[in-house]
Chain A
Amino acid sequence: MDILVQQLINGLVLGSVYALVALGYTMVYGILELINFAHGEVTMFGAMVALAVISALLGAGVDLPGVVIALLGLLTAIPACMLLGYGIERLAYRPLRHAPRLAPLITAIGVSIVLQNIAMLIWGRQYISFPPILPQGYHTLLGARITDVQILILVASLVLMVALTLLVQRTQLGRAMRATAQSPQLAGLMGVDANRVISLTFIIGSGIAAVAGVLVSAYYGLAHYYMGFLLGLKAFSAAVLGGVGNLAGAMLGGLLLGVIESLGAGYIGDITGGFLGSNYQDVFAFFVLIIVLIVRPSGLLGKPSHDRA
């Protein structure tokens, strides 16, 4: 029993990590229908910038509580990533707004490669460790353990999802976003500056990516210039699972993917009588993904898709 509870906690935390990144993905997708392949790299930049600030502060012997130092790192990373996100949209995506659908996908991959290699040049090829400045304690729940950082990740992803949903549903900007998503031309006729709205979407999405990056690297204790790729991929899968473009869907998809992976890795051996092991964890996850999409071709919470092949 405690093993099952532990596996569920493992899955939910892992899922929240995916959800954090997926939220940014899905925001951009919702408005532009663009798979922003570089989103994972923006997340990586967030982690790297924060780490640079944190190690500079620690190196200078600043006498502040760990949480404050981490927060300072985060507060530098957020605007840095926002700027980066704005720049990416402006330089690599905006000129292709009316190009064939797959063209921005290629620039997105290009941006992703460029960002990885710039990060490699700046921060080197090594893995960088995230100093243990956040609380390291844990709590016991039904025989299972949950750490402070894990709780932080769960809470952060939930708070961000709610905040973003409120932003999209309740604010002027949110209304403009939804209008632009439906039809940039019509929104323009209604006095919405589509370019501004899209820029803001990228800025907000990238800000969230920074938060995700910092939390992820704090949780696993490391950062690396290549970390964004796989993270982005999983987050993208999560977003699609939940119904891409839908914020609650990204959260649901993320959590579900995390739990599926966790239970898959934990129990696949028992289910198949030891024939398959945790090496088939991803097979299991993708299998569930495929089944879900066959039953619901637009994801769990997605609207039926219109033709956009």
Chain B
Amino acid sequence: MTARKQAWFTFVALAIGLALLPLLVEAGLGRSWVRILDLTLLYIMLAVGLNIVVGYAGLLDLGYIAFYAVGAYCYALLASPQFGLHLPFWVLLPTGALLAGVFGLLLGAPTLRLRGDYLAIVTLGFGEIIRIFLNNLNTPINITNGPQGVNLIDPIRIAGFSLGKTQHLFGVTFSSPQLYYYFFLVLTLIAIFVALRLQDSRIGRAWAAIREDELAAQASGINLRNTKLLAFAMGATFGGLAGGLFAGFQGFISPESFNLMESIMILCMIVLGGMGNIPGVILGAILLTVLPEALRYVGDLQRAWIGHVVVDPADLRMLLFGFALILMMLFRPAGLLPSRRHLNELRHD
């Protein structure tokens, strides 16, 4: 096989695999795993978005979940009984993404001078501020419904075709999580494509320059302010889009879904996978979404191997997850699939 043929073969195999995945998973593992697949796609989108800020531009952001929240609330408030509005998804998703982008600028503008951990703590504060506002804006005017959250959010409907219920297509029955899977898959692939193109674009090289050496980048004519702001805004847009999808998929959102631990987890995904390297980031997102779920089965494992449950799986699940984080980092400190450029940095160190 020529290299070209081989590439085509891989591509086709991958496409078929991704298309069949939810059908096989639902048949083999159950529908909950299709839901986990859906969430995994959302997290891939988030991780790819955060990677623009942290991986490409080197700006440590611990408040990324705020943009996810902005997108989710934008969708929820405009498509639920909260205000009696029921706008279609093709209005909601771009609006949410755009609004999140604006919030990205809002966060970026005052923090241009900050670096490293100082930037981290300010972004963390920003994330918390957004969450606290969402949690409290039920008085004096009820906007977000406060801690009670927004319920009965419209599912995503594409030209009257609801992803929220079981549908029959071409003689095959698709469950709602499966339908969402295909929709999320398309958007995730677009997000990945955009992120990959960005990396090698003029802007991407400017981000890399800033990451490596801010002073040198400035000296070579890069507008620091605009380039940094663009990174924040771009990253936030991805988050906002994912947030809108999450709201439609879940049907209910409340501020507690957007806490600091979520921001930290998304950061873990990109560092663990390999910062700056899209395949690595995707791998990190998959691992950290699937692993905690897979660890739910340690009880079944014990039953299968020892015959009865020795240690309560709930006691072990997060413990094993913590150990996994440590071990993975110890064995591959640059991430599971490090980016070549970052790897070079390592060697020079």
Given contacts A100-B346, A117-B315, A309-B59, contact A107 B326 (CB under 8 A): yes
By the criterion CB–CB under 8 Å, are B333 and A237 in contact? Answer: no
CB of B325 within 8 A of CB of A307, answer no
User: How distant is the Cα of A135 from the Cα of B300 in the complex, in angstroms?
Assistant: 51
Q: A-facing mask of B194-220, CB < 8 A → 1, else 0?
A: 000000000000000001011100000
CB-CB under 8 A from B345, the residues of chain A are 100
Contact A309/B325 with A105-B271, A279-B132, A290-B122 known, Cβ cut-off 8 Å: no
A290 in contact with B125 (CB, 8 Å)? yes
A280 with B122: CB separation less than 8 A: no
Contact pick for B136, options A102, A118, A279, CB 8 Å: A279
| Highest count of chain B CB atoms <10 Å: which of A91, A95, A279, A286 | A286
The 23 listed contacts between A and B (C-beta, < 8 Å) are A95-B330, A95-B333, A96-B330, A100-B275, A100-B335, A103-B329, A106-B268, A106-B271, A106-B272, A106-B325, A107-B330, A110-B325, A111-B326, A114-B319, A117-B316, A117-B318, A233-B260, A294-B111, A297-B115, A305-B116, A307-B115, A307-B215, A309-B58
- Of chain B, the residue at the smallest CB distance from A307 is B214
Binary contact track A106-128/B, C-beta < 8 Å → 1, others 0: 11011111101110110000000
Q: Are A290 and B110 in contact, with the CB atoms below 8 A?
A: yes
What are the 6 A-B residue pairs with the smallest beta carbon separation, nearest first? Answer: A110-B325, A99-B333, A113-B322, A286-B125, A114-B322, A117-B319
Partner of A100, one of B119, B120, B334: B334
A240 proximity list for chain B (CB < 8 A): 117-118, 121
Q: Which residues of A contact B115 (CB under 8 A)?
A: 297, 305, 307-309
**Which residues of B lie under 8 Å from residue A220 when comparing CB positions?**
none
A98, B345: Cα distance in complex, Å: 11
Residues of A within 8 A of B283 (CB): none
Residue of B nearest to A88 (CB): B326
Q: Is A222 an interface residue (CB 8 A)?
A: no
Q: Is B337's CB within 8 Å of the partner chain A?
A: no
**Nearest residue, chain A, Cβ from B333:** A99
CB contact list, A276-298 vs B, under 8 A: 279-280, 282-283, 286-287, 289-290, 293-294, 297-298
Chain B neighbourhood of A294, CB < 8 A: 110-111, 113-114
Residue of A nearest to B136 (CB): A279
Q: With an 8 A cutoff between CB atoms, is B60 at the interface?
A: yes
**Contact between A96 and B333, CB atoms less than 8 A apart:** yes
Contact with A along B300-326 (1 / 0, CB 8 A): 000000000000000110110111111
Report how far A113 CA is from B319 CA in the complex, Å: 7
User: CB-CB contacts of B225-265 with A at 8 A, as 1s and 0s?
Assistant: 00000000000000000000000000000000000100010
Residues of chain B within 8 A (CB-CB) of A109 are 264, 268, 325
In the complex, whether B342 has a CB less than 8 A from a CB of chain A is: yes
Note all chain A residues with C-beta closer than 8 A to B260: 233
Interface residues of B (CB under 8 A from A): 54, 58-60, 110-111, 113-122, 124-126, 128-129, 132-133, 135-136, 140, 211, 213-215, 260, 264, 267-268, 271-272, 275, 315-316, 318-319, 321-326, 329-330, 333-335, 342, 345-346, 349
* Distance between Cα atoms of A197 and B267 in the complex (Å): 30
Q: How far is the CA of A109 from the CA of B324 in the complex (A)?
A: 11
B199 to chain A, nearest CB (A): 18
Q: Contact: B121 with A297, CB < 8 Å?
A: no
CA distance A305 to B54 in the complex (A): 19
B35 nearest CB across to chain A (Å): 24
Of all chain B residues, which has the CB nearest A306? B115
A173 contacts the other chain (CB 8 A): no
Contact in complex: B117, A244 (CB < 8 Å): yes
Q: Closest approach, in angstroms, between the C-beta of B276 and any C-beta of chain A?
A: 10
What would 17 more interface pairs be, CB under 8 Å, given A111-B326, A233-B260, A307-B214?
Answer: A99-B333, A100-B275, A103-B333, A104-B329, A106-B271, A106-B329, A110-B325, A117-B318, A117-B322, A275-B140, A282-B132, A286-B126, A286-B128, A287-B129, A290-B125, A305-B118, A309-B214
How far apart are the CA atoms of A309 and B333 in the complex, in Å? 17
Report B-chain residues with C-beta under 8 Å of the C-beta of A297. Answer: 113-115, 118
A100 in contact with B330 (CB, 8 Å): no
Residues from chain B with a CB closer than 8 A to the CB of A111 are 322, 326
B210: nearest residue on chain A (CB-CB)?
Answer: A309
